[in-house]
Amino acid sequence: MPSDEASWDVVVVGAGPAGSSAARAAAESGARVLLLEKAELPRYKTCGGGLIGYSRRSLPPGFEIPVRQRIDAISFTINGERLRTRKDRAGDLLVLVNRAEFDLALAKAAVDAGAVLRTGSTVTGVEQDEPGRAVVTLADGGRIAAGAVIGADGSASRVARYVGVRCDQVDLGLEAEIQVPQSVAAEWTNRVLVDWGPLPGSYGWVFPKGDVLTVGVISARGEGEATRRYYRDFIERLGLAEYPTISDSGHLTRCREAGSPLSRGRVLVAGDAAGLLEPWTREGISFALRSGALAGRSAAELARAAEESGDAGYTAAVEDLLGVEMRAGSAMLKLFERHPGFFHRTVTLIPMAWKMFADFCRGKTSPAQLVRNPVARALIRTLPRQTAAKVLKHL
């Protein structure tokens, strides 16, 4: 029989942005919530740590973002060439955070809402072996029952395997945290770099966080050696190879296949575990925060139900809020894969295109709104006729 010292309505697996948001939302809905995290917090997480407007608006009221840098300018290059910098007068394009600090603050917000956080707890599986209950199993042999379980345990999620999540886009990201002297750090103050890369759909970035620069690249899985070469060349040509590397890591991002399940009985998945991210930029924090909150409220409702009746509207809510953004992002990725130069020219030379990009960063527009924008469609028509017709057909 399942055993634990307390009775739980909702168990959340993983204390990243999706898991902590889910735990907080479920607790605020009146559920007894246990938040399980395999690591001790704070812990390192491979991630650029850029918060767009949608991420900031999805944070709990009164949440103090542990800001490392506020960004008001973006430099663009295409494979290291044609450097152009655009500045935003509003000064709120991005907020950069250290993920260890950010995730710890989110977990504390969940605890403040009433959730119980338990670190050092590795979940090895999930099952539903009795009516009205789901059970998670732990590496130490423990078993914990709840009225609902939320898997927010990352892109290699065990809970996602149980649910049957399918992903049709997998990318390899490589990233380093590089310690730089004050003179170098000053060159990057309030400015990030985006480099449209040499591989289809690839790009690189530099995110400054005081005397540490987060430098990385991402490209489709299957081009591992070419991606690693791009990564090495990118760091070298930026003149950063001579400085100490604090961390050097890689990770896979997985993007959900349309129609892939988000639940199985009383088990839901959110964030990276569900493959929820924006396909073009691979931005995932805003998707994690928003899907986590939806999952938490749905799980609390599911836990109160004596009999299982779907997933309390979770899948429909995700499709309505995030599915449309993912489909638009996928269309933008296909265009970017074929015409990176088009993106570079338009965003750096055409004021309206820069404004649309800046509005995306600020969260004033979304991929779905961008592809429907008459100006964006007019710009696409500047491509060769056959290409433009093909692109517009899929937008």
Q: What is the pLDDT of residues 158-189, one digit of tens each?
A: 999 999 999 999 999 999 999 999 999 999 99
Strand partners, 149: 11, 267
pLDDT tens per residue, range 13-72: 999 999 999 999 999 999 999 999 999 999 888 888 999 999 999 999 999 999 999 999
pLDDT tens per residue, range 333-348: 988 998 899 899 999 9
Q: pTM for the whole thing?
A: 0.93
Chain position carrying tokens 């990385």:
216
Percentage of the residues of the chain whose pLDDT score is greater than 70: 93
Backbone φ/ψ region at 131: left (φ over 0), alpha (ψ -120 to 50), beta: beta
Q: ω into residue 131 within 30 of 0, thus cis? A: no
Report the distance separating Cα 263 and Cα 22, nearest Å: 14
Report the distance separating Cα 207 and Cα 186, nearest Å: 13
pLDDT tens per residue, range 306-335: 776 688 899 999 999 999 999 989 988 988
pLDDT for 5 beyond 70: no
